[in-house]
Amino acid sequence: MRFFENVKQTFRKSGRSVFKMYNFILPKVLFLVFLGIGIIFLYYSGIGCVWKYLFGITCPGCGMTRAYISLLKGDISAAFGYHFMFWSVPILLIYVFFGEKLLTKTFHKVLLGVIAIGFIVNWII
């Protein structure tokens, strides 16, 4: 609770209302919650990857979970072997939450373009 009080004070000091703070944070948190619920549902329903379930071919993100498991075990080379774009997910999360404040418009386009091309190349390989 102390964290939210600090955030409220920061918004008040900056001249923004607390209502604007909730409009900034709440949709992003709800998106992550519903995304997590969807992933859990797909895992326990036996569907797994929706792309593979519908089209019968692997998706551009296949191998990402195995890459993160390898990374947590400390095996970075195996993580890159499973999916060499695993490093982009934390960057995308930072972009979703703080992109408008941290990055310029030109850098937005370059960053998203590089990540999209990386996923496509990984998918083709």
State phi, psi for 75 to the nearest 5 degrees: -100, 85
pLDDT tier, 16 (very low <50, low <70, confident <90, very high otherwise): low
Angular region, 69: left φ>0, alpha ψ -120 to 50, beta rest: alpha
3-state helix, strand, coil in the chain (%, to 5): 80, 0, 20
- pTM reported for the whole predicted model: 0.59
Q: Which of 58, 54, 51, 80 is nearest to 67 (CA)?
A: 80
pLDDT at 69: 86
Q: How far is CA 48 from the centre of its chain?
A: 18
pLDDT at 13: 65
Report the percent of the chain where pLDDT is more than 70: 77
Report the percent of the chain where pLDDT is more than 90: 6
Quick: pLDDT tens for 76-125: 999 999 888 989 888 888 877 776 666 677 777 888 888 889 888 888 88
Q: What is the mean pLDDT of the chain?
A: 79
Per-domain residue ranges of the chain = 1-48, 60-125
